[in-house]
Structure 1
Amino acid sequence: MKDYQVIVVGGGAAGMMAAGQAAQRGKRVLLLEKKERLGRKIAISGKGRCNITNEEHVSDFIRNYPGNGRFLHGILREFDNVALREFLAHYGVETKVERGGRVFPVSDDAETVVETLLAYLAERGVTILSGITVEEILVEDGRVTGVQGLGQRRFFAPAVIICTGGASYPATGSTGDGFRFARKLGHKVITPRPALVPLKTAEAWVKEVQGLSLRNVEASLWIGGKKKVAEFGEMLFTHFGVSGPIILTLSRQAGEALRKGEPVKLELNLKPALSSEQLDARIQRDFQKYSNKQFKNALDDLLPQSLIPVLIRLSGINPDGVVHQISREERKGLTALLQGLPLTITDTLSLEAAIVTAGGVDVKEINPKTMASKCVKGLYWAGEVVDVDGITGGYNLQAAFAMGFRAGRAAAGEEFSQV
């Protein structure tokens, strides 16, 4: 069996970058992937468009990682968003910036990113074996010696980088293998849980508007009767509740509160650009325009069609009543409803349905300067398997690439000295 100098387990963003960087430094590198094709999660990210990173200045990145952002401080500075875009451009992938600083390939096709990374690995001479499930990390006298796959097949190397991802989207290959390895090797694993995940609601009316996407709205998260945080942007109604970028960003905090048994609610401001006085004046203009129509036919200028019956019902105003007969109190109540549409959050979707996994290998047991294990010599960690997670907007992929970049270089240069 051929020996290698670095073995990378997992062919996602972190794994491909780590393998390429180690090979770039002259090492014989083997990349093992349990699926038949590398980059499965990259290919579906950003709805198939791949939100690679964010254009925000790297000094401001840390605040967008509720899960151990400080751990990434030096890692992100070594391989930041500018470096990542330049890397991709070098291999022919030009990028563009969209709302919220989100960076996408100009092609709007995530596959171009995957193909670019595969070309990079080929150029650097990385050996890729797909369809290989690693069962065990081999260790002797506290030092890594290689890995063992199904059927007792063994691969040997003095440095192993584990980039197996978390436990979200298991169809892409992220089935929690790295957490199992970590526990067996003596690492502490922070309980994996969903980080960016849709939310379930108690209100049945969401089914009536499922598929409705709203832009430029504000969602406020209330926990235990207190407003905690608000997010502005896009959201989506589903058959079970709500999803979309602003909901996903709020979901981590919502999920933590639910696990503690605290009541969680959302308030949706459908017209956040207007003050309550301005919105009331707008409604009055509409009511004057449609003064002789029934109330149910007077909201077409104000709301999406599918949401009108829901808002009418929640307002308590007679849908068949004539608009000019609506009282001031009823109009004020409608204004308040439009800027504080309540939703009771009952649960998150499962970890398997989450975009990102929170939890993972405890960062206290990883050297941030090298991504090396503090428990086993020659062992490195990178990507979502580590207890680091960010909000939506390209932050999680950036973190994965940056951790892979550092781990690959460290494993290639100092595979025996990192403890």
Structure 2
Amino acid sequence: MNRYDVIVVGSGAAGMIAAIQAGRDGKKVLLLEKLSKLGSKLKATGGGRCNLTNTLNNEEFMAKFGRNGRFMQDALHLLDHNALIEFFNGIGVETHAPDGFRVFPVGHNSQTILTALEDELNRLHVDIKTSQKVTELLSEELHVSGVKTDTDIYHAPNVIIATGGLGYPTLGAEGDGYTLASSLGHKTTELFPAMMPLITKENWGTNCRADTLAKVELRVDIKKYKNLKAVGDLIFTKNGIRGPVVLDFAREITPILSKLGEVPIIANLTKGMNEDDILRHFKNEILKDPDANIEQNLLSILPSSVIRELCKLADVDPSMKFNKVEGKNRAELVKILASTPLTITGHEGFKMAMITRGGISLKEIDPRTMQSKLIKGLYFCGEVMDLDGPCGGYNLQWSFASGYLAGHLLD
């Protein structure tokens, strides 16, 4: 009764598609989930909208993951964004890319995705058991032989670990996969929370919370890390910054923060304008309306709340005319407008992290199959591995692609 061809541990994006693929290959499949329902984190993805993938070609896609990106080559060859769209279309989910880049289910509802995956699992007669936490991997002579849960033992010559990372522990992420893998000799890299709001030393942003700033560029103001930057929408919070640009930037910041304690950054809040651009902007605004003050001059590029705070940093009265301000203060204002200094001092840890940076070492996993190089029959897929990307459908595409490849059980 408890013997299967394949056991999949974890029912996120990677786990469900792995179970589906194994089922389509005619395998007897068991899908184990420690929570009472499948796909809790998948349902919450993208605020419930579920950005499945994006339209980048495979080379550009892999480049976004940095030095480990090419590990995905075989998985993406098997299931790139076009194939993923076809997969979902085949199980009744229509998708679209309203901005030409990010791909969503039509209706932008993650429940659509979850329901379709569950229906396909049921159609394939995959045995689904919830409220089953795997506590031990069983093996014999360097070959996996099954799993032990809180209540039972299940046997199989193939086990796929799809347990995710540490982000959002309320949705079941507790790092189970790392513990299970290490019990059979696998190494896990250092783990950092990623994709989350950041806390700043400066508190002036609390007065700017009502406004979203578009096309903000953030970069690390440390010579060694000068190439680390991100561009996107930013929102000030009570104690720091959030928004898409911050989610991407946090991936780079958290490892540095753990070493240094705080990280100075530069924010360009003026849509990429440099100091010369800003001076020209003032000149043009003054020509149009000689009686306008600094705040009025800047309203076309920044909200009033931000203008007033940046003027305070430069010790400038925003109600004055730009040409009436003392030269050194004028220069300081232009500098701050082009390069606003901020200091990242912390974050709220894994409880607010959408993904985990780090994971099971890729050196110990065969990228052609997702099978362990140490234990035959043991496979990995999704976020549990040491590979993460930015916002925009990257991490879900990787989860689906790696799960799809793992589910093929190729030696």
TM interval, shorter chain, is over 0.9
Given that 1:136 and 1:147 are in contact with CA atoms closer than 8 Å, whether structure 2 keeps it comes out as: yes
Measure, in 1, the Cα distance between the counterparts of 2:99 and 2:215.
Answer: 11
- Map 1:19-418 to 2 at 5 A: 19-66=19-66, 68-99=68-99, 101-151=101-151, 153-210=152-209, 212-224=211-223, 227-261=226-260, 264-287=263-286, 292=291, 299-319=298-318, 321=320, 325-327=324-326, 329-410=328-409, 418=411
The 3 A distance-change label for structure 1 pair 278 and 171 is same
Measure, in 2, the Cα distance between the counterparts of 1:178 and 1:217.
Answer: 36
Q: How far has the Cα of 1:55 moved from its partner?
A: 0.3
TM-score (norm 1): 0.91
Q: How far has the Cα of 1:268 moved from its partner?
A: 1.7
Give the corresponding residue for 1:7.
7
Given that 1:200 and 1:347 are in contact with CA atoms closer than 8 Å, whether structure 2 keeps it comes out as: yes
Query: 3-state SS of the aligned residue for 2:407?
Result: helix
Given that 1:162 and 1:382 are in contact with CA atoms closer than 8 Å, whether structure 2 keeps it comes out as: yes
Measure, in 2, the Cα distance between the counterparts of 1:98 and 1:221.
Answer: 32
Given that 1:198 and 1:241 are in contact with CA atoms closer than 8 Å, whether structure 2 keeps it comes out as: yes
The 3 A distance-change label for structure 1 pair 321 and 282 is closer
The 3 A distance-change label for structure 1 pair 196 and 7 is same
The 3 A distance-change label for structure 1 pair 273 and 206 is closer
**Which residue type is aligned with residue 276 of structure 2?**
E
Given that 1:272 and 1:339 are in contact with CA atoms closer than 8 Å, whether structure 2 keeps it comes out as: no
Q: How far has the Cα of 1:200 moved from its partner?
A: 1.7
Deviations along 1:84-143, one digit per CA (max 9) or x if unpaired, are 011112222222225482222221111111111112212222111112111111223322
Measure, in 2, the Cα distance between the counterparts of 1:280 and 1:98.
Answer: 37
Measure, in 1, the Cα distance between the counterparts of 2:103 and 2:118.
Answer: 20
Given that 1:66 and 1:391 are in contact with CA atoms closer than 8 Å, whether structure 2 keeps it comes out as: no
Q: How far has the Cα of 1:26 moved from its partner?
A: 0.5
The 3 A distance-change label for structure 1 pair 241 and 225 is farther
Query: 3-state SS of the aligned residue for 1:189?
Result: coil
Q: How far has the Cα of 1:404 moved from its partner?
A: 0.5
Measure, in 1, the Cα distance between the counterparts of 2:224 and 2:324.
Answer: 35
Identity across matched positions, percent: 39
The 3 A distance-change label for structure 1 pair 354 and 217 is same
Measure, in 2, the Cα distance between the counterparts of 1:21 and 1:369.
Answer: 16
Q: How far has the Cα of 1:66 moved from its partner?
A: 2.8
**Which residue type is aligned with residue 93 of structure 2?**
V
Structure 2 residues without counterparts, runs of 5 or longer: none
Q: How far has the Cα of 1:396 moved from its partner?
A: 0.8
Given that 2:14 and 2:402 are in contact with CA atoms closer than 8 Å, whether structure 1 keeps it comes out as: yes
Q: How far has the Cα of 1:331 moved from its partner?
A: 3.6
Measure, in 2, the Cα distance between the counterparts of 1:123 and 1:33.
Answer: 18
Deviations along 1:164-188, one digit per CA (max 9) or x if unpaired, are 0011111121110001101111111
Measure, in 2, the Cα distance between the counterparts of 1:16 and 1:288.
Answer: 62
Query: 3-state SS of the aligned residue for 1:360?
Result: coil
Q: How far has the Cα of 1:292 moved from its partner?
A: 4.7
Query: 3-state SS of the aligned residue for 2:96?
Result: strand
Q: Quick check: 318-327 or 11-20, which moved more?
A: 318-327
**Which residue type is aligned with residue 140 of structure 2?**
E
Q: Quick check: 67-76 or 49-58, which moved more?
A: 67-76
TM-score (norm 2): 0.92
Measure, in 1, the Cα distance between the counterparts of 2:229 and 2:156.
Answer: 49
The 3 A distance-change label for structure 1 pair 98 and 241 is farther
Q: Quick check: 8-17 or 107-116, which moved more?
A: 107-116
Measure, in 2, the Cα distance between the counterparts of 1:325 and 1:59.
Answer: 53
Query: 3-state SS of the aligned residue for 1:393?
Result: coil
Q: Quick check: 239-248 or 223-232, which moved more?
A: 223-232
- Alpha-carbon RMSD: 2.3
Structure 1 residues without counterparts, runs of 5 or longer: none
Q: Quick check: 55-64 or 312-321, which moved more?
A: 312-321
Q: How far has the Cα of 1:278 moved from its partner?
A: 3.5
The 3 A distance-change label for structure 1 pair 72 and 43 is same
Measure, in 1, the Cα distance between the counterparts of 2:196 and 2:100.
Answer: 19
The 3 A distance-change label for structure 1 pair 178 and 220 is same
Q: Quick check: 217-226 or 35-44, which moved more?
A: 217-226
**Which residue type is aligned with residue 60 of structure 1?**
E
